[in-house]
Amino acid sequence: MKKQLRPRLLVMMIPLTLLFVFVVQSAYGADPTKKLLTLSFNKTPLATALKTVEKESGCKVLFTYDEVQTYHVTATVKKEPLTHAMTAILKGLPFQYKLNGKFVVVSKQAQAAQTVQKAAVNKVFGVIVDEEGEPLIGVTVRIKGTGKGTITNFDGEFTLEDDNRKTPLLFSYIGKEDIEKLPVYGQSMKLVMKDSQVGKKLDEVIVVGYGTMKKRDVTGSISSISSKEIENKMATNVYEALQGSTAGVQVVSGSGQPGESSTIKVRGTSTFSSEGVSPLYIVDGAPMESIDDINPSDIVSVEVLKDAASAAIYGSRSANGVIIVTTRGGQEGKPEINVKYYHSWGKLSHKVPQANRADRLFYDQARRNYFLTYGGGNPDQSMDILQDPYNYFFNVDNDYLDMITQVGNKDEVDVSIGGGSKALKYFVNTAYYNERGIIDNTGYQRFSTRVNADYSPSKWLSMGSRMSLSYSKKEGVNEGQLLSSVLSRRPYFNTTYSDGSIVGVFNGQKNPLALINYTTDFTNSYKANFYQYFNFKFNKHLSFRTNINANFYLDKRKKLIPSLITDEWQKSNNGYSYNYLNWNWMNENYFTYTRNWGAHHFTGMAGMSVQKWYYENENIAGMNASTDYIYTLNAFAANLDLSATGSVETRHSLASFYTRITYDYLRRYLLTLNVRRDGSSRFAKNNKWGNFPSASFGWRFSDEPFLKGARKVMTDGKLRVSYGVTGNQSIGNYEYVYSYTPSNIYDGVGGVRPARIGSSDLKWEETRQFDLGLDLNFFNNRLVVTADYYYKYTDGLLANYQLPKETGFSYIRKNIGEISNRGFELSISGDIIRKKDLTWNASFNISGNSNTVEKLAEGKAYMEGDIWWMQEGGHIGDFYGFKCLGVFPYDESNAFTSDWKQLTPVFENGVFQYKYLLNGQEYTGEVHKKRLPNGQAFRGGNYNWEEPKGTENGIIDDNDRMVIGNAMPDVTGGFNTNVKWKNFNLYLGFYYSIGGKIYNAAENNRNMFKYDGTTPSPYTIYNMWLKPGDNAIYPRPFNDEYNNGRMGNSFYLEDASFIRLSNVRLSYDFPQTIAKKLFMKRLNVYFFANNVLTWTNYSGFDPEFSTSNPLQIGKDSYRYPRKREFGVGFNANF
């Protein structure tokens, strides 16, 4: 194997080696005027000689051809600098030279020039450069007030015949400030054109992989969010900053639990595995495993690379998009101190109705009557309560949601200092964040600090460090257990015994208050990121950068379930300690070469990187400690749970080579090419390497001469097309390996079994993406429109393919199939009012995505989780289950025609008349009943399940499941608006998700009538079927073999659409005079509210929740409810 790999690597090394040789040579000639020249001329025409000098030295030699035409040179120069060579060449000739930067201007000596004065005085010539000294091509030079003029050539030079000495020349160029200057005759004019402030927005620099680009030159689809937007949203993490602010980026927060992470989906789901669904996070150039603990106030900008062309530079990890976070660096100048503080109060935003005491007693009595009539369960199961309702223990009416929730609090303090000199800049930020959740004993604390420093010791070297450290503590509850006990525990069960002691487990159910107050479960996370770069600048064109990066993540979870809440006998407790260390290092090295040849602008980048990850898990579990007081595992040493105790280590490495070329002509035709080659240890020998090329093309049509007239309206217009391949390798570290793992311990011996079936064919998941985009800017940023259409096709989807369980394995990691995603994105932003005292701007974005499962392994449809269906031609998020047509009122209502139209039985005074009606007419044909496979007919009070069209046979079994809805929203997006009036600023942020369904599994669970202890919702209790003739909404209150309570029932499918006013922020800037009196530069106070209003038809806590598995979306089990939050705060600058 190693032999196979070597030649391939060598081939890849060749371009790099060549580049290396090139670097050394270029370094040699960094300053052209210092270069030693060896020249020899023998009666050579002067013009030829000067051209030779130009060629050898690399300087631009300016002369007038007519003047030198008749002169010849004989001279020899040996390893002399330029000045000596020029002197030698011009010796004895009537010429003089002047060195001006890299220009050598050769002109006739004064007396000699007299004769041609007439011609020379009228000639204005010169060169025009930008701020970096690069010649500007195509600059319009006009004599003011006349139509007379010219444009600069490929070297930025112009020559103009002009005899009107008093009229200034007007120089103009797109994106640059105009210059007006009186002409200078006879000598070269050198003009520097500065970037225009008006065009600034277009010239914003945005971060792309391994470099930056001017926004106007970007040919891919990239969204960018600034620190101002983040501040307005009162974001506590990057996810909140992104939510609703960018088209095509769907951010769904997990739940209301403090410190809960979110999921980000860029342009739909293009992968099947939960590990690989999140985008790649790059923070200041370094890939990160998580961005949860990044303090939003450290952030300058967040860029989302959406299309393949932008993302492909990150190759194998970019299929789900790339999110680049750039943190603040210091600014040159005096130290600036910034202090921020806010406090907020939160309250449960939406309550779910719960049965009260009376409801539950009604339910108990109804069930008792039901069992007495129909059997099935034990009629006496709640008798003791019904007969003794004033017993201390049953004589309460609990509203558990009220009891477990409280007012949550949030504080954040942030102190930063930034400043520096030209050579050294620094930024230090320290922040403390503390959130106490709306459920007691839940919370999240974060202490983070960041030090960013940049240092340029010399012209050719700059270096910098990014260092961030954070500590966080997340205290949580088991959401599922808590909320299921909240929603289902009988409302009349007391939470304390008569002696005042708290109830733990009673009647098999846990007391939610005991769960909250007695569980210990917290995770301490320690994170450290170190990043160091060195940038070597060899000359104006070529630089080399090397980055070294190391990330450390350590999570330590401690858990103690005390004996009080483990079981009714309170004999046992459980302790758990989990340590997870993940650290990785990376080194990347790349050259960047920038050069302009005339109107041809070229940038090349090439490099390589290596990265390695180390993961280490340590679990210790124990039970039956002698005390409930100690949560650490020393208390459990006597009774360790050996099956859950142990450590596991895995590793993963990635090697990459990448290159990018950007080229444009006249800044009008733009081209970017990327290629990345990634090798990953996660694939079998023959599949380790993957290639990820991409190309994008941009056309700035607004610069075309034929649209010149439209420029007043359309400031800028660009069309983008891109196509590329991105990859995904987010799977376990050894998925292709067939190996054995320690497993069950039996009778003192550890067993060993196969960990998995190996799949040596396992290969990269590849997403090919086409993107067509349009950027329009009208009236100087008054209205900015960006629209994109994309088509993504992913093949080799990495997923867990469910194997027949009789093989002894559950699943195999496999390239399972192919999926396509297509969608559009549109964002519109603009300034509606632009006045001195009043500005109002607004932005709106919308995106839609639809996906199709194109191919599945063996063409075989399969069930994902317990409720989703994956089939070719289907869609991710398709719910699979039984379609509910309502509840039969009578046994006789289960009557259908031969083509399964339901008949209406005729009753008179409650007695069936053996007659059926069909559409009001008496029906006399054959009557069919729906039955269980065993022949039993469905009765009154059973759900009437619909059979899929064409397969109706009256037998309701597993074959009668069908796709009953889809979880994916049709469109998502946001709407943000900001009004500034004098010193007041008001920001409103909305986001929305329209379409899609939620399977309300929490509601399904509580209304199953399966467990006696479970309390259904009040609406259910009063709408269940109890006797023949009931036109009920819910079925019989007992789940028998007819399985009315089954999971996967279209009845529990609800519309997931919502619009949310998520952020409101009103701030006031104190006038400078007042701020000054307080020794401040600036003081800003604000009021804010989050999660203010939600418009939705969804009946659960919240239509927004996320799941880690991208295929198992939209199933609402019990999640921590969200809060509505109000707060106040200030920002002060010193």
Partner 1 sequence: MFKINRIIYLLFAMSMLCSCNSFLEEDTISEVPADKMWQTARDAKAGVNEIYGLFRQTMRENYFYWGEFRSDNVAPGAPVMADQARVINNLMSTDERCAKWTNLYAMINQANLCIKYVPQIDMPDVSDRNDYLGQAYAMRALGYFYALRVWGDVPLFTEPIEKEEQDLYRPRTDAQYILENVIVPDLKQAEKLINRNKNYERKRISIIGVWAILADVYMWMGNYSDADQTIEKMKSIDYKGAKFMQLAPNIQSWRSMLTEELNRKPSDNTPDNDEYTTKELIFLIHFDMDEVGANGYSYMYQWFSGSGNRAAVLSDKFMDIFNQEDMQGDLRKDLVSKDYQNGYELRKFMAGDISNSLNKTCEIAYPIYRYSDMILLQAEAKARLGKWDEALELVKQIRDRAGLQTPLSTEFSSEDEIVEFILRERQVELVGEGRRWFDLLRTGKWKTVMGPINGLKNDGNEVFPIHFSHIIENPKIKQNTYYGE
Among 196, 434, 639, 1117, binds partner 1 (CB under 8 A): 639
Number of residues located near partner 1, criterion CB under 8 A: 121
Footprint on residues 558-587 left by partner 1 (CB under 8 A): 566-569, 571-572, 574
Task: Pick between residue 450 and residue 682 the one whose CB is nearest to partner 1.
Answer: 682
Task: Pick between residue 76 and residue 378 the one whose CB is nearest to partner 1.
Answer: 378
Dihedral sign of CA atoms 680, 681, 683, 689 in order: positive
Cβ atoms of 266 and 248 within 8 Å: the answer is: yes
Strand partners, 523: 474, 557
Task: Pick between residue 429 and residue 759 the one whose CB is nearest to partner 1.
Answer: 759
Stretch that binds partner 1, among 222-230, 302-310, 619-627, 963-971 (CB under 8 A): 619-627
Footprint on residues 907-966 left by partner 1 (CB under 8 A): 933-935, 953, 955, 957-959
Least Å distance, CB 574 to partner 1, is 5
Q: What angle do CA 1045, 1047, 1050 make, to 5 degrees?
A: 90
Among 380, 397, 402, 704, binds partner 1 (CB under 8 A): 380
Stretch that binds partner 1, among 284-292, 518-526, 753-761, 901-909 (CB under 8 A): 753-761
Stretch that binds partner 1, among 493-501, 861-869, 882-890, 920-928 (CB under 8 A): 861-869
Among 100, 546, 852, 1133, binds partner 1 (CB under 8 A): 546
- Alpha carbons 520 and 608: distance in angstroms, whole number: 47
Strand partners, 868: 864, 879
The answer to whether residue 630 forms part of the interface with partner 1 (CB under 8 A) is no
Cβ atoms of 131 and 179 within 8 Å: the answer is: no
Q: Cα separations (Å) of 330 from 203, 212, 454? A: 21, 18, 8
- Alpha carbons 650 and 681: distance in angstroms, whole number: 11
Binding-site string for partner 1 from residue 817 to residue 856, where x marks contact by CB under 8 A and - marks none: ----------------------------------------
The answer to whether residue 807 forms part of the interface with partner 1 (CB under 8 A) is yes
Footprint on residues 53-92 left by partner 1 (CB under 8 A): none
* Residue 87 in tokens: 């002197």
Backbone angles phi, psi at 229, to 5 degrees: -65, -40
* Residue 902 in tokens: 């339901």
Task: Pick between residue 257 and residue 1044 the one whose CB is nearest to partner 1.
Answer: 1044
The answer to whether residue 1046 forms part of the interface with partner 1 (CB under 8 A) is yes
* Residue 715 in tokens: 């400031």
Strand partners, 531: 466, 549
Task: Pick between residue 621 and residue 1002 the one whose CB is nearest to partner 1.
Answer: 621
Footprint on residues 521-540 left by partner 1 (CB under 8 A): 536, 538
Q: What angle do CA 920, 923, 928 make, to 5 degrees?
A: 120
- Residue owning tokens 């391949």: 725
Q: Describe the strand order of the beta sheet including 878-881 as a list of residue ranges.
A: 862-864, 868-870, 878-881, 962-966
Stretch that binds partner 1, among 412-420, 513-521, 828-836, 1035-1043 (CB under 8 A): 1035-1043
- Alpha carbons 136 and 179: distance in angstroms, whole number: 13
Least Å distance, CB 524 to partner 1, is 23
The answer to whether residue 24 forms part of the interface with partner 1 (CB under 8 A) is yes
Task: Pick between residue 495 and residue 1133 the one whose CB is nearest to partner 1.
Answer: 495
The answer to whether residue 686 forms part of the interface with partner 1 (CB under 8 A) is no
617 membership: H or E segment, kind and range: strand 600-623
Least Å distance, CB 803 to partner 1, is 6
The answer to whether residue 388 forms part of the interface with partner 1 (CB under 8 A) is no
- Alpha carbons 1085 and 1066: distance in angstroms, whole number: 8
Task: Pick between residue 76 and residue 744 the one whose CB is nearest to partner 1.
Answer: 744
* Residue 892 in tokens: 């006789």
Q: Which residue type occupies 1036?
A: R
The answer to whether residue 643 forms part of the interface with partner 1 (CB under 8 A) is yes
Stretch that binds partner 1, among 95-103, 707-715, 758-766, 884-892 (CB under 8 A): 758-766
- Alpha carbons 352 and 356: distance in angstroms, whole number: 12
Task: Pick between residue 399 and residue 649 the one whose CB is nearest to partner 1.
Answer: 649
Among 182, 205, 637, 745, binds partner 1 (CB under 8 A): 745
Among 450, 814, 997, 1124, binds partner 1 (CB under 8 A): 814
Task: Pick between residue 629 and residue 746 the one whose CB is nearest to partner 1.
Answer: 746
- Alpha carbons 1068 and 413: distance in angstroms, whole number: 19
943 membership: H or E segment, kind and range: strand 943-946
Among 9, 358, 885, 1074, binds partner 1 (CB under 8 A): 9
* 767 Cβ contact partners less than 8 Å away, ≥ 6 residues apart: 270, 308, 319, 725, 726, 727, 728, 792, 793, 794
Among 168, 175, 886, 1013, binds partner 1 (CB under 8 A): 1013
Among 68, 560, 621, 1061, binds partner 1 (CB under 8 A): 621
The answer to whether residue 17 forms part of the interface with partner 1 (CB under 8 A) is yes
Residue (of 966, 970, 1013) closest to 992 by Cα position: 970
Among 669, 789, 809, 1130, binds partner 1 (CB under 8 A): 809
- Alpha carbons 1058 and 1100: distance in angstroms, whole number: 12
Among 1043, 1050, 1062, 1096, binds partner 1 (CB under 8 A): 1043
Task: Pick between residue 626 and residue 643 the one whose CB is nearest to partner 1.
Answer: 643
Cβ atoms of 259 and 435 within 8 Å: the answer is: yes
Least Å distance, CB 560 to partner 1, is 12
Q: What angle do CA 995, 999, 1001 make, to 5 degrees?
A: 155
